[in-house]
Chains A and B, each alone.
Chain A
Amino acid sequence: MQITVKLYASLRWKLFDEALRQCAPGAKIRAVVDELGIPQADVGIVLVNGLHAGWDDTLNQGDVLSLLPRMGGG
């Protein structure tokens, strides 16, 4: 199946802004991120279609997976 991956800030500076990716039906987010070569520790927020998601959530055809880096301040 095909999904869209969107990266933000330091993640996109290193790889790409947005790309179409092929993955197996029912693939877990963790597997897709591993395949991209992004350390999970570098990812602070995971969204699927704009909603917060977990590493073990599965993806569906046409989903938009957004990966945002950790943020901090204070």
Chain B
Amino acid sequence: MTDMHQASSNPASVLYRRCTIDLASGTASFATLPCRNLEEVLGGFGRSFQILAERDITEAYSPENPLILNTGLLTGSNVMTGMRSYFSGYSPLKKSSRGLPAAMWSAGSGNFGNKLKWTGIDEVIFENRSETPVYALFRDGGAGPVLELKPAGDLLGLTGHEKIMALGKLYPDAHFAVIGPAGENYRSVFMGAVVLSTDNQLKSGEPKSRFAGRGGMGSLMGYKNLIAIVAQSADRLDKITPVMRDVNRDILKSGGSARFQPVSQGGGGGTWANIEVLQAFHAVPLNNFRPKGNDDVERLFRDRVEQDFEVVSEGCFRCGIRCHNNLFERKPDGSRGKLAAKFDFEPLILFGSNLGIHDAAQVSELIHLCDLLGMDAISLGTTISYLLDYNERHPDRPLSNGASFGDFDLIRELIEETGRGGEGVLGKGVRRLSEELGETSYAMHVKGLELPAYLPDTNPGYMFAIAGGHMSMGTHMMLAKEGKHSVDEWAQAITTNGLLQVGYDMIGLCKFVGVGIGHDIIIRGIREAVGLEITCAEIVACVRRAYLRGLALELRQGFAEEEYTLPSQVIDDPNPNLALPNFISAEFLEQLRQRVWSVFLPEMEAVLPAKGIVP
């Protein structure tokens, strides 16, 4: 990147390095390109969605559908959490009622994004598909980045963690983005994740990967026969200046990140604590997003789990927030045993209470298995819960192996079978499964993407998420936090602060920095890391344009008005056990849609480039 001082007024003064790889021919080209607007300067999906919007894609698994890997402006910088990498493409999982795939991105941490940036590359576009399994090796060649495509047949069949450890032996100073068996079995698994290596994983040998899970970008990698991506470079972090030290101190001290910091440091202990907060309202998903008003989920509270496991707070590369809660088994002598799983709110609930499982050891095993096989925990967990719900409703004609809520062994079998590409019914997601069965009311998805572990009964904002339901619309906790339930309040939240959630998927930082994207900490961090002078108003306007471009792209891909809705069970059969206002009715949703579209639609004119303009 160059000449950041003019970036906000003249984005073209900022250059970025792109590598375009034709996997069919095995050829690659490098180009240095000027940014066309501020969204491209910030990076991430702000840039990749502009490329996707220029394509006319009708099938996710088609050679024309690119897989775009890029970084954000602050990836590889000294700003704490600046290590994100982004994977974008037309999703095999999320599709419109017209059958067209939606543009998606997913983001992950680990040290891979940093390493890629330090090779001198900001963006990679993988075109077409390889005839044989390959991995892409990017390295810093001294005079610039160098690419090699190498045979990857030896990696096939290994878990994501095993692939990372095998590549780690070949490239000791590199980091890795790989797929698991699920991505290899892309024909039957549309929810394959990209598995990203961490320093801790490579040093300890323990399966502590990070994941870019949503939307099946790992399955798209599998379709392209791209089994892994290696980024090999020496670390290139600048010396930490006094200003940067203050920025990072403020990230830790300003309060926004405190909820994610370790309990031992006075923090909230990561997202795990959300269980206890939501349980106060009986709003923790249970048995397919249908809380019963009981205390079953309390067996997964932190202090209960600590009776049987050692919980260790760890973090990503140089991140002081240390939000990871890694569960280790205890040996008979009380010492630390092997890693059981990483307990975050989403997988803990979606492989725990939402499947009727409340035993921490069993939940750990299911999370661990999903991770090793390389699937998106949210999509898989939510699709399994639908199947269990179906089987409970139809005991005379159950699906698959007949698993029902709480059947640990049978659920484990379902996960294994799905990830290994068996004949199971789960891998293509809950929308397809429920439509095939003709029972869609309790299929927990919006626009074809499975819901995370926040009840739809509490979040009409899901309708306007453009990627991950809580990753791209920050309203998922509003009802519990503030109790607000009027159309005015929800329209205001969706059209102002809610959409700004996506800004973190542009600049390269983690959302757990915990402040609004226009916050002074972000502005100072950008200025000190890359010299870009940008105002709060400019960054907010830029993120808003990027969000609206994503929403416009949904409409172009055929998402119809009636798809901007919630699972109909929310309206037709409200849950009486929630200790929160029951405010979502058909009339409420209609009024909310009208209010939100009346704000967004005028702004969405001309945000999309015309198709067919491939720079």
Contacts and interface: CB of A to CB of B under 8 A. Distances in A.
A9 B277 contact: yes
Interface of B is mostly: helix
B54 interface: no
Interface stretch (A28-36, A45-53, A55-63): A45-53
Contacts of B476: 73-74
Contacts of B271: 71-73
Given A10-B267, A10-B273, A74-B476, A66 B483 contact: no
A10 B269 contact: yes
Given A10-B268, A44-B481, A71 B259 contact: yes
B501 A73 contact: no
B512 A72 contact: yes
Nearest to B511: A74
Interface string A37-48: 000011011010
Interface range on chain B (Cβ under 8 Å from partner): 20 to 34
B254 to A, nearest CB: 10
Contacts of B154: none
B482 A52 contact: yes
Nearest to B303: A13
A69 B277 contact: yes
B268 A9 contact: yes
Contact of B274 (A42, A47, A66, A73): A73
A8 B276 contact: yes
A71 to B, nearest CB: 5
A71 B273 contact: yes
A68 B277 contact: yes
How extensive is the interface on chain A, given as a class?
A: 20 to 34
Given A10-B269, A52-B482, A71 B277 contact: yes
Contacts, number: 75
B16 interface: no
B87 interface: no
B579 A70 contact: no
B260 A51 contact: no
Contacts of A13: 263, 302-303
Contacts of A50: 579
B477 interface: yes
B403 to A, nearest CB: 28
B470 interface: yes
B471 A74 contact: yes
Contacts of A51: 483
A23 B443 CA distance: 49
Nearest to B471: A74
Given A66-B280, A69-B273, A73-B274, A10 B482 contact: no
Contacts of B471: 74
Contacts of B588: none
A70 B483 contact: no
Most buried by B among A41, A42, A71, A73: A73
A9 B268 CA distance: 8
A58 to B, nearest CB: 18
Interface of A: 8-10, 13, 41-42, 44-45, 47, 50-52, 66, 68-74
Interface of B: 255, 258-260, 263, 267-269, 271, 273-274, 276-278, 280, 302-303, 345-346, 454, 470-471, 474, 476-477, 480-483, 501, 511-512, 514, 579
27 contacts: A8-B277, A13-B263, A13-B302, A44-B259, A52-B482, A52-B483, A66-B280, A68-B276, A69-B259, A69-B268, A69-B273, A70-B258, A70-B259, A71-B259, A71-B271, A71-B277, A71-B480, A71-B481, A72-B259, A72-B477, A73-B271, A73-B345, A73-B470, A73-B477, A74-B474, A74-B476, A74-B501
Given A42-B258, A69-B259, A73-B470, 13 more contacts: A8-B276, A8-B277, A9-B268, A9-B269, A50-B579, A70-B258, A70-B268, A71-B273, A72-B274, A72-B477, A72-B514, A73-B346, A74-B511
